[in-house]
Amino acid sequence: MNEVYRKIPHRPPFLFVDEIIERNEDSITTRRVLREDEAHFEGHYPGNPIMPGVLLCEAVFQAGAILLANHAGGEPGDRTPVLTRIRDARFKNIARPGDELTIRATLMETLGQFRFLRGSITAGDRKIMTVEFGLALIEENRSSS
């Protein structure tokens, strides 16, 4: 978890990556175990808890941001990953408490400060979702006003 904390600014309760499994220059594989006590499960279909699709997307975006921290130059905390595009999100199965999610993101193209990626989530042999997205690495504004 410490490596995840060093790479992206996200923190619980809005952190959806538990650990980095594998990483190379253009792709990353991370893991997340869905816990029954997560707050969104209380209200997202009580009695039949389902991980919200928008949070599944966020898990992929966070994995992509971790990947891009290595492309940013400088220290990982010097730039903030900002979502710039979401395309072709497809949800194929439901994710529930107890599922161990494998989250993948692959860099497809770089245009200036913009990075375009493709991501997916699986749980065991079930494909949960796929999405294409864009991230920009924005320099942090550290001036005090």
pLDDT reported for residue 137: 85
- Whether 144 is covered by a domain: the verdict is no
Q: Are 117 and 108 in contact (CB under 8 A)?
A: yes
Residue 103 belongs to domain spanning: 2-139
- Whether 89 is covered by a domain: the verdict is yes
Count of domains for the chain: 1
For residue 136, how far is the Cα from the chain centroid? 14
How many CA atoms does the CB half-sphere of 125 hold within 13 Å? Answer: 0
CATH (domain of 64) = 3.10.129.10
Q: Does 44 participate in catalysis according to the annotation? A: yes
Q: How far apart are CA 105 and CA 26, in angstroms?
A: 8
- Whether 145 is covered by a domain: the verdict is no
SS3 131: strand
- Whether 121 is covered by a domain: the verdict is yes
6-38 pLDDT per residue, tens: 999 899 999 999 999 999 999 999 999 999 999
